[in-house]
Structure 1
Amino acid sequence: MSLFDHLVIFPILIPFFVGVILLFPSLSGSLDKQRVFTISANLLMVIVAISLLLKVQQDGIQMYALGDWSAPFGIVLVADAFSALMIALSAVLGLTVILYASAGEDKSGAFFHPLIMFQLMGINGAFLTGDAFNLFVFFEVLLIASYSLMIHGGGKQKIQANIHYVFLNLIGSSLFLFALGTLYGTLGTLNFADMADKIPHLSPNEQLITKSGALLLLAVFGLKAAMLPLHFWLPKAYSSTSTSVAALFAIMTKVGIYSIWRIHGVMFGDQAGELANIALPWLWPIALITIAIGAISVLASQSLRVLSSNLVIVSVGTLLVTISLNSVQASTAGIYYLVHSTIACAAMFLLAGLIQQQRGKAEDRFVIARAMPQSAKLGFVFALLAIGLIGMPPLSGFVGKALILQSVTDPKQMAWIWSLILVAGLISLIALSRAGTSLFWRTSGENTGALQGHPIQYLAIGILVSLLPLMVLFGGPLTDYAQLAAEQLNNGLSLQQLNEAAK
């Protein structure tokens, strides 16, 4: 058995072992050593993620059975095109966040680097797991790490936001367990493929109980994804925490979106018999209202970090639209847009941190303040990110939104979706234009003399920003890959196919 046969588990093992090693006394007292260790580990994860992505594209779905126990009895990890893409996105985002934090932000609190690694372990595990119980386990791993990361550096605002965040997620975790118990009681399994095989053959009484568990999971994942009306925690939480942590959290809502796609798009999809597409009547209106409320919140934002947080909510609503359309074309567009929105929002959070650093007491609020030492450089990056987030050419936001609009075929749906997405884009244009004017043009006096951005911070932002035009230049292969991911997602995977993939 070659090393490549274990690729599927590496995105979980690497951050786990590195996180544990960083807790050793010989490393925990040396921040420089921790930085070298963490950056090296994230570079390795990028290489592993790209290798896994290429292996899935070439050889098809990869299954890894821990202890060589076949599904559904053992713990299995499954890497299809969608999960491999999300692992690659997580690896790149993790690398840029660590680079940015290594400029000094990691000094403001203890155990920053081990917590980042455990957070990435939980995120990667959630993308790769092949059963619902281990999805819960990895959710708890990433949430426990996020509880500590959110208050990194301390402060009244962080603690207040963290109390709300912890309380809501503890409720969500409890409901998650209730839902899993309900589903296991009727299906006798929590393996995704085995559940998908058994759902179409349930009796009417079992269908009712299973439907309750499935809709309860929708509420749980909706809370994680910041789906309306469970979105109210996000702006406060994301705008209060440290810059690098907020950027990493840009992928947290996508874990919820991914789970909705995986559970309700596969197990309760077109092949689920009487329970087919039970979430669609709920997702359709919720998606549209999420976009509308998110756009209004964007317009009302008083700081760049709050604005960026509300743009995350708009992107969540847009992704929910692609799930509710329930087609391969819509899923292809949604997967492309998911990658774009995660990268663009994370980059905007990092940029907001630099602006906050250079504006003194004004921070990133939309008020008159002294000019920033590097306003020209920051303004150029801001303009690029604004174009990407609005969805204007020539960056990837335009391609993503164009693909989503093109995937809408029903005239009634077209009227609603086109109107809301285009109006939300217009509102984002107005809000970001106002933000740019306030931050870069409405200045008084000489520059603040504040600390300038560290080169490694610009490197982190530059990596993310450069991906937006690259997603356009390589739009053909990336769209083809997204279509492969969408086809595998919509077709599902039976238990027999899963075990065959392990051989």
Structure 2
Amino acid sequence: MGTHLPVLPVLLPLLAGALLLLLERHGIGVQRALSTVAMVALLATSAALLRAADDGTVTMYLLGDWPARLGIALVADRTSALLVLTTTLLAIASLLYACAGWDRRALHFHALFQLQLAGLNGAFLTGDLFNLFVFFEVMLIASYGLLLSGGRGPRMRAGLHYVVFNITASTLFLIALGLLYGMLGSLNMAELAFRIGQADPANLPLIRAASGILLVVFCAKAALVPLYLWLPNAYSRAPAAVAALFAVMTKVGVYTVLRVYTLVFGSEAGELAGWAWTWLLPAGLLTLVLASLGALASKSLRMLVAFLVIASAATLFIAVSLDTVETVSAGLYYLVHSTFVAGALFLVADLVRRQRGVAGDNLDVAGPLRHSALLGALFAVAAVSTSGMPPLSGFLGKVLLLEAVPATNVAWVWSIVLVTSLLTVVALARTASQVFWRARPWPETASSPAPPQPAQVAAAILLLGYGIAMTLFGGPIMRYTGDAAAQLLAPADYINAAHGTAPQLREPSP
């Protein structure tokens, strides 16, 4: 079983999704039961994968034992194992929330949910750029169905914009892959890391152009300026359980930038080594400013959360672009934290919307609110965590990042991160005042909304509990992220492990 661990996070949800499609006619109870079994199995697999990677082992898995340059190569290291486990934990809470009733209204919800997990996990584990494209498409096609299912009006418009934008990005992705394969004869990332350093100098401009197109694609997935305008409408219109799972999708873009530009265009890439970081730092800082202003100007609670997702991705790009073990380690810790807290905020926003009657999640009016104590407590914990106030994990992540900023970048990074954190606090305080403090008594003549389902409340508490656990167990987690960052920034270990498992990588293409 241990030798097959890297493929199981992809294989299990793929099989579960196929079975769910076959068993849909047997009712929602059977679908929920099968989804639950699949999630338990995936959680056990993800935890085992993390444990196996914790000692620094880089495991390469060749599906069908095809040569790596021809087949599907999956590679598990500390970073990919961490993100697979993060995705699984987020998905458990999202599925729990959906099973409170919304899954009845969405066509093929459970099957699409599992297929999206397969795409997400595949994107984190793949060792090949073409298969990265394939897993991106699996993830995106499933997300189209989850976003558009049962929708109409504004959600359909936002969903169609999301579809068109991502199809355009996928087209650019294919163009970049064609350029790289035509010049280098491989798309395996470990092999590209070697071949780019040995490439003919005459081909370097085209290789740089291909890497630039890839950077645009990955930044579009992560909603970096100026390619972030698609996200607020799409995420704010998505059903709560879907939006919570989508919180990890921008992190896929951040991860691919980190993986590709530390490995393929890392220290072995000669003239092209590390060229992307000088562009990403100012882009990340500008995105953080714009996202914070967007959160401050948001007219709905869900739109506010969507802009906070963009702000978290921007913070991660700042950490990544500084390109030190300490900043990348802080970024990985913050990545996990921000994924959980964004998911929790989407769930809390939906609970609040359902308890405000016609006011919904509109922040321009102060409406009545049922169960204000419970919802206010959930929102307060989420707000403290996402704004970076002590003592929760958001504070630890930002402190780690600020402490690790190189002296040459201290002025810009510190000032922008601190000012935008203040803007976030103001935006969340304004929201709390409008929704909770100024809430009016419920009209006696109006029908009272149904109370929140226990499963819905439990899902939000579970995600917030993850963040609290990251605070309580901050030492071991930071140790792990530090080791993961050191492994990422020393790509020779990854390359040697891949070539040791698959020496046929450097055989000439037939």
TM range (shorter): over 0.9
What does 1:34-73 correspond to in 2, within 5 Å?
34-58=31-55, 60-73=57-70
- In the alignment, which residue of structure 2 is the partner of 1:86? 83
**1:345 is aligned with what amino acid?**
A
What does 1:334-483 correspond to in 2, within 5 Å?
334-411=331-408, 413-446=409-442, 449-483=448-482
Q: Provide the C-alpha distance between the structure 1 equivalents of 2:45 and 2:126, rounded to a whole number of angstroms.
A: 17
- In the alignment, which residue of structure 1 is the partner of 2:500? 500
**2:110 is aligned with what amino acid?**
H
What does 1:224-263 correspond to in 2, within 5 Å?
224-263=221-260
| CA displacement, residues 77-132 of structure 1 (integer Å, 9 cap, x when unaligned) | 00000000000011111111110000011122210110101111100000000100
User: How far off is 1:199 after superposition?
Assistant: 1.1
Q: SS state of the match for residue 489, structure 2?
A: helix
| CA displacement, residues 408-448 of structure 1 (integer Å, 9 cap, x when unaligned) | 1224x111111111111100100000101111121223266
The answer on whether the counterparts of 1:27 and 1:34 sit within 8 Å (CA) in structure 2 is yes
Structure-2 change in CA distance of 1:216 and 1:150 (3 Å): same
Q: Provide the C-alpha distance between the structure 2 equivalents of 1:243 and 1:129, rounded to a whole number of angstroms.
A: 29
Answering whether residue 116 of structure 2 is matched by residue 105 of structure 1, we say: no
The answer on whether the counterparts of 1:18 and 1:41 sit within 8 Å (CA) in structure 2 is yes
The answer on whether the counterparts of 1:77 and 1:129 sit within 8 Å (CA) in structure 2 is yes
| CA displacement, residues 60-87 of structure 1 (integer Å, 9 cap, x when unaligned) | 1111111123433432100000000000
Q: Provide the C-alpha distance between the structure 1 equivalents of 2:423 and 2:39, rounded to a whole number of angstroms.
A: 37
**1:451 is aligned with what amino acid?**
A
Q: Provide the C-alpha distance between the structure 2 equivalents of 1:284 and 1:373, rounded to a whole number of angstroms.
A: 44
Q: Provide the C-alpha distance between the structure 2 equivalents of 1:381 and 1:501, rounded to a whole number of angstroms.
A: 48
The answer on whether the counterparts of 1:62 and 1:502 sit within 8 Å (CA) in structure 2 is no
Q: Provide the C-alpha distance between the structure 1 equivalents of 2:161 and 2:370, rounded to a whole number of angstroms.
A: 36
Answering whether residue 178 of structure 2 is matched by residue 181 of structure 1, we say: yes
**1:143 is aligned with what amino acid?**
L
Answering whether residue 133 of structure 2 is matched by residue 136 of structure 1, we say: yes
- In the alignment, which residue of structure 2 is the partner of 1:487? 486
- In the alignment, which residue of structure 2 is the partner of 1:15? 13
The answer on whether the counterparts of 2:287 and 2:310 sit within 8 Å (CA) in structure 1 is yes
Q: Provide the C-alpha distance between the structure 2 equivalents of 1:94 and 1:368, rounded to a whole number of angstroms.
A: 33
| CA displacement, residues 150-170 of structure 1 (integer Å, 9 cap, x when unaligned) | 112212011100111111111
Q: SS state of the match for residue 63, structure 1?
A: strand
**2:21 is aligned with what amino acid?**
L
Q: Provide the C-alpha distance between the structure 2 equivalents of 1:437 and 1:123, rounded to a whole number of angstroms.
A: 37
Q: SS state of the match for residue 194, structure 1?
A: helix
Q: Which stretches in structure 2 are left out of the alignment for 5+ residues?
A: 504-510
**1:480 is aligned with what amino acid?**
R
User: How far off is 1:383 after superposition?
Assistant: 0.4
| CA displacement, residues 392-422 of structure 1 (integer Å, 9 cap, x when unaligned) | 11100000001110111224x1111111111
The answer on whether the counterparts of 1:211 and 1:278 sit within 8 Å (CA) in structure 2 is no
| CA displacement, residues 428-487 of structure 1 (integer Å, 9 cap, x when unaligned) | 100000101111121223266211111111111111101112111111110111011111
**TM-score, normalisation: structure 2:** 0.95
What does 1:263-282 correspond to in 2, within 5 Å?
263-282=260-279
Q: Which stretches in structure 1 are left out of the alignment for 5+ residues?
A: none
The answer on whether the counterparts of 1:408 and 1:414 sit within 8 Å (CA) in structure 2 is yes
Identity %: 43
Q: Provide the C-alpha distance between the structure 1 equivalents of 2:41 and 2:261, rounded to a whole number of angstroms.
A: 33
Q: Provide the C-alpha distance between the structure 1 equivalents of 2:371 and 2:46, rounded to a whole number of angstroms.
A: 35
User: How far off is 1:370 after superposition?
Assistant: 4.2
| CA displacement, residues 228-264 of structure 1 (integer Å, 9 cap, x when unaligned) | 0000000000001111111010000001111111111
